[in-house]
Structure 1
Amino acid sequence: MIKPIVTSPLMLRAPGEDADPTDALDAQVGQDLLDTLEAHRHECVGMAANMIGVRKRIIVAVEGTRSLLMYNPEVLEGTGAYETEEGCLSLPGTRPCTRFRTIRVRYLDERGHERTGSFSGYMAQIIQHEVDHTNGILI
């Protein structure tokens, strides 16, 4: 289900709680994120659960023609720090931030299986932005 986008800094600064993809409610949040991202794909490449009003550690990021859903994502390491500017669907304007060119991330997939993946370039930047959201960090 497509959900409204939260713009309240108070809600966006609240860290998320761990999610369980095998739990029906958390799985529904994941699906809602996918649906909401698809509805905003013309202006958005990633979302976190707090952007739709849910304090859970769930993100989705556009990867080519598909969207990657991650539960409890954790950036394990990053290399190649650089300065950039990012915008956010929940906040007006852009802001400077530091990102890594390559990251390694541990997360649970939609079946609850633990995965570790390496991402680089724009996909790494998207994931870092959304993981920040799950930690209550705003750019």
Structure 2
Amino acid sequence: MIKPIVKDQQLLAKKAVPATKTDRPIAADLIDTLNAHQTECVGMAANMIGSNKKIIIARLGPLNVVMFNPQITAKSNPYQTEEGCLSLIGKRPTKRYQKITVKFFNQAWQPQTLFLTDFAAEIVQHELDHCNGIII
């Protein structure tokens, strides 16, 4: 189901709680909502659609990848950039890393590890900031 985008910064500033297997239906809402905003958005965190769970979705090339309880385990090559967000107006400066390794559970609740670089890595870092209550 397409959900409205949360813009309340007090809600967005709350740190997400870990997801469980019972939270898997949230993935469908993230997929539907991201697809509805595909022209202006490449990723979302569950708190952006009203669920304070540690779940994100990132459009990585042609694929929408849902990550439950994602955690960056390695990062390198820091750089400064500007990012926008569907929940915020305008762009803001932020620090990102060009290369990251992220561990998470997929929709079948299987552990996964991805090595991401460049824009794909930036998307995941942005969404993880949402999970950690960090507003760029």
In the alignment, does 2:74 pair up with 1:77?
A: yes
| CA deviation map 1:37-60 (0-9, x unaligned) | 000000000000000011000000
TM-score for the superposition, normalised by structure 1: 0.96
Unaligned runs of 5+ in 1: none
Aligned to 2:58: 61
Distance in 2, matches of 1:103 and 1:65, equals 20
Q: Give the 4+ runs in structure 1 shifted more than 3 A.
A: none
Q: Give the partner amino acid of 1:135.
A: N
What's the % identity of the aligned pairs? 46
In the alignment, does 2:89 pair up with 1:92?
A: yes
| CA deviation map 1:20-46 (0-9, x unaligned) | 2x31xx111111001000000000000
Superposition map of 1:1-139 within 5 A: 1-20=1-20, 22-23=21-22, 26-139=23-136
Deviation at 1:88, TM superposition (A): 0.3
Q: Give the partner amino acid of 2:117.
A: S
Distance in 2, matches of 1:32 and 1:96, equals 29
| CA deviation map 1:45-83 (0-9, x unaligned) | 000000001100000000111201000001111100000
Distance in 2, matches of 1:106 and 1:28, equals 20
Distance in 2, matches of 1:130 and 1:104, equals 14
Q: Give the partner amino acid of 1:103.
A: I
Distance in 2, matches of 1:109 and 1:29, equals 12
Q: Give the partner amino acid of 1:32.
A: D
Q: Give the partner amino acid of 2:70.
A: P
Unaligned runs of 5+ in 2: none
Which SS does the other structure have where 1:106 is aligned? strand
Q: Give the partner amino acid of 1:67.
A: N
Q: Give the partner amino acid of 1:38.
A: N
Question: What do you get for the CA RMSD once the two structures are aligned?
Answer: 0.6
